[in-house]
Amino acid sequence: MMQIDQIGEYLGQLTPQARSSLLVELERLEVCGTAIPGAAPVLERLRAEFRKGGQTNHRVANPSRHFFSPLEPMLTDGAPEHDNCGRILRGSLAPIWEWISHDLLPTMASDYIAQMKPLIAADKQAEIRKVAETFQTKVFKYLENALSSPDGADRARKRLATYTASRSAFGDLTRMVTVLSARDALAKLNKELPASIAEFEQTQVAAITAQLDAFGKQHAAAIPFALTLVAKRLNTFRQLARLATRAASTMNAADIAATPYALAVSMVLDRLEDKGTELRAALKNNRILVAKDLLTDIYDTEYALQAQICRLDESQWGMRLNKIMNAIAADVDAEVSKFPEEVGHVLESLNQRRRQSIADRLTHMASKGRDAFNNGVASCMKLIGQA
């Protein structure tokens, strides 16, 4: 009872926004499978508070939600295991807002909140957008100047670290600045892109490439976020790599890396790495069916990259892919080894399918090599006969 009372007393000393940030942080660690001794009663207390208040776990207060609205299409839930190009972790928003409103621009933030509250209560959407955009511009200009020097960036990183232990928060802050710098252009592109792209084939790839080219002329730094907007329309995220592979002169990795949107391949690997993190959490929590779906998607993505990119293993992409897949294989092997051989495991069948797919691909590549060799020999013989 004493411990619960102490927890309640501690939480009562925090601002509502700080408690929201703490909840997001604890749930982020929980998703990663990180055990935190004594966290259960804190999570229970915080979840009860935000359920009672009618708030969801990952939504910040209304004025700040409107401030972050340009980021909404780029937000993702997940663990900050690595930088995600073109995406921003939703869990970073609460500490960033706390830092802006308490440290960076407390007077401006207070005025903004005071302006927004009656507008939100009256549901005056046009005025809400106008006030939010004005404050976004002020924050952007201040941050652009503050982060322009190494010393300024270091100070911002240290101050932001007092609100969260997340390693990705500062990176997400810089990404937020990039999004705000291209706010209107990204909103325009988001409206102009098709609602969905059923088959991302040559015609669609060419049309989307033209839109991205036009966008990039004025906002090159925001291209990763433009690619994220495209990815949201695709059936599967791995299709995004076609923006690079279809633009290359050959299927070789080196030629694909020289295309304007080679970054798309790295973004697919980012997502693959995220899937690996989700898989580990699912295995740790014994959610085998979820793990099965994740592993199927992971193997399909691996196969798609190998099929689209020749000499992949010789590239930085290939080295990164091998590292990701080796870690995933170790996790799956550890899970499968828990069961006797005669019992079997649902994930082992996927492993067998993956091995067969790799073998089929190698056979196909060898066949293409033989065909190319035979065609070359035939051409040479024909030329000799004509000489």
Please name which of 102, 196, 96 lies closest in space to residue 140, comparing C-alpha atoms: 96
Q: What integer pLDDT is reported at residue 365 of this predicted model?
A: 44
pLDDT bucket at 2, cuts 50 / 70 / 90: very low
284-303 pLDDT, tens digit each: 888 888 888 999 999 999 99
Pick from 13-22, 37-46, 131-140, 267-276 the range whose average pLDDT is largest.
131-140
- Here the tokens at position 362 are 């190698």
Q: What integer pLDDT is reported at residue 348 of this predicted model?
A: 64
CA distances from 288 to 33, 140, 292, 297 (A): 15, 44, 6, 14
pTM here? 0.77
Q: What integer pLDDT is reported at residue 284 of this predicted model?
A: 85
Is pLDDT above 80 for 79? no
Name the amino acid, one letter, at 275: K
95-106 pLDDT, tens digit each: 999 999 999 999
Q: What integer pLDDT is reported at residue 283 of this predicted model?
A: 87
- Average pLDDT score, the chain: 83
Is pLDDT above 50 for 383? no
Alpha-carbon gap, residue 221 to 206, rounded angstroms: 21
215-272 pLDDT, tens digit each: 999 999 999 999 999 999 999 999 999 999 999 999 999 999 999 999 999 999 999 9
Is pLDDT above 60 for 52? no
- Here the tokens at position 228 are 């994220």
| Percent of the chain whose pLDDT exceeds 70 | 77
Q: Where are the domains of the chain?
A: 2-181, 236-386
Is pLDDT above 60 for 367? no
Is pLDDT above 90 for 315? yes
Asked whether the beta carbons of 176 and 88 are under 8 A apart, the reply is yes
Please name which of 106, 143, 146 lies closest in space to residue 17, comparing C-alpha atoms: 106
Asked whether the beta carbons of 256 and 220 are under 8 A apart, the reply is no
Could you tell me which residue, 56 or 161, shows the higher pLDDT?
Answer: 161
Is pLDDT above 60 for 375? no
Asked whether the beta carbons of 195 and 234 are under 8 A apart, the reply is no
Is pLDDT above 80 for 119? yes
Q: What integer pLDDT is reported at residue 40 of this predicted model?
A: 75
| Percent of the chain whose pLDDT exceeds 90 | 56
Alpha-carbon gap, residue 176 to 71, rounded angstroms: 7
Q: What integer pLDDT is reported at residue 378 of this predicted model?
A: 46
Is pLDDT above 50 for 114? yes
Is pLDDT above 80 for 352? no
Q: What integer pLDDT is reported at residue 8 of this predicted model?
A: 72
Is pLDDT above 70 for 130? yes
